[in-house]
Structure 1
Amino acid sequence: MTQSSFITLQNASKSFADTVIFKHVQAQLSKGEILSIVGPSGSGKTTLLRCLSGLEPFSAGDFIIDNQNVTKLTANKRPVSLVFQQALLFPHMTILDNVAYGLTFQHVKKKERAKQAQELIDKVGLKGYEKSFPHELSGGQQQRISLARSLAISPDLILLDEPFSSLDPQLRHEMRDWVRKLLKSQQMTAIFVTHDREEAMQMGDRVGVFNDGSFQQIGTPQDVYQRPVNPFVATFFSDCLVLDDHKYVPVSHLFISNNTSNDAHLQLEAIVQNQVFIHGETFYQLWVASMNKRITLPSSLSLHEGANVTVMANAEAVQLFPEDEIKE
């Protein structure tokens, strides 16, 4: 667990009728920390975010922000902002009015609203667009304004629900770096939801791998990647070949051979599917039929598509999963 907990989620559960979406969820964040929640579609990530924002009530558990239990507070009473996948700006309002909108409910005077909104527009790099309307901005610019609008009310916690999913790959990479720097500069505590492993690792100080309605593992991106605690985390988040419920081999410990060997601890037949070049190095994508899995390994061998090869690992490469543990 983190020290000096600013955000605490205790035994949080959510059900719709007889359908359990998530159960007994526990998490803590320090002030200014960013937690990435990553998991497959349908795992309950977005519903968890909606409950944190107050758009849906928790079925059980407690949600505490800065020592205040906000579980029963409605969305407009919580010190929480939610940034959606789409910017959802008001099309009939100028950019300045969009950013200032939330301040009207905090009884901030008009002149002060405009001043604060202008400062945020400047911070997100869109000075000069104050009088523009949303349709005049690009997708990335609209998402910046959506973030500025969320920051305007000075929330204790900002939630981001796959905010870059509709952007093209290049802009998506740029926005990740930009948003993280902005959140850190503002010392904002944030929860970032995605199904993209790379995005989760880039955005979060810690990563929570979410599946089947619960956190499978929480830790630094490096720790979760290098030391997965169960087969799901090893398969979904790390690059591992899961041998069974107890053992796995990191892909980095595997190598390709044209021959079998009596010295290798693990030997698996594979078929070369194709060749790829990454940062000037040659990699081969292989299909391991016995594991029903495709893996990508580097090799200096000259291999052709359809070739039969052997994937090997030494005994020391085999790792054990810890038993029934959520690592934090």
Structure 2
Amino acid sequence: MRPASIKDVASHAGVAVGTVSNVLNYPDRVADKTRSRVLDSIAELGFVRNDVARQLRAGQSRTIGLIVLDIGNPFFSSLARAAEDAAADSGNAVVLGNSGHDATRELHYIDLFEEQRVQGVLISPVADITERLRALTQRGTKVILVDSPAGGDTFSSVSVDDVSGGYLATKHLLGLGRRRIAFVAGPQRFHQVRDRLAGATRAVEEVAGATLEVLQADDLTVLAGRGIGDGLVGRDRGSLPDGLFCANDLLALGVMQSLTMLRTLRIPEDVALVGYDDIDFAASAVVPLTSIRQPTALIGRTAVELLTEQLSDPAARPRSVVFKPELVVRASTNG
């Protein structure tokens, strides 16, 4: 059996095809009795309108493409949920693409969303793809950078001041009297990691006798953090850092798992630990984690608002919104 068509509905209800179209798109134009008869036919036949065809005819979509770095990271899943809620408020829907830190996969999603004629693309880029995104905008698809500063006036963007966040985290450790600071870095191709390290470096340079060591993790995951923690456990006590700042909470939780499971180093007595993002798991960790909070929901909602601005006024200049992070102190530094 084929799906019911708009012609089938019109025939079943005894009205013109244009009347069915009006019921679907402009119901106030149709008399109550006729509208009820058409709606009954739609329900009886199980008619579902072809929204893709409608969008192609109108040249207008009700979908927004969102490409994130890692949907497995609660930071991005919370951001996506907030963007979805904001889009729903205006009758739109968010279609999610997870690049998984893979540049090729990221480009695939950009191509796919352009083919689907989405209203716009919200993206946390893996790398510098300015030229590809500029070409996208020139062909009519709006682009909003998410968790990434624009670095120019080509695109609107929403981000957090990660240099300030790195400074806050490290300044907190230094204020506790910790002087051998280590930064647990994920891949430094990500500007977020580089910016947080820059902030940490600035804070250490302000305190005489303080040192900063970079511990390089190969990913931004709990497992990568556990690898760093295992390496710390095997060190001589004299070479251990007394303060650890991790590029995100997942790394910090992995370090914490390693240290607490092996029971060789105490948090925060031996090593004070700070994460970044303040995901939900941070507060419920075995040692509640001090973290730098990003306004995740606000980032997601603001990205959709910036897109709405661009769509309502195509001549509007791109706008960059930068939020300030917040230090949330818990037992991992305040035992």
| TM-score normalised to structure 1 length | 0.25
Structure with the larger helix share: 2
TM-score normalised over the length of structure 2: 0.25
| Structure with the larger strand share | 1
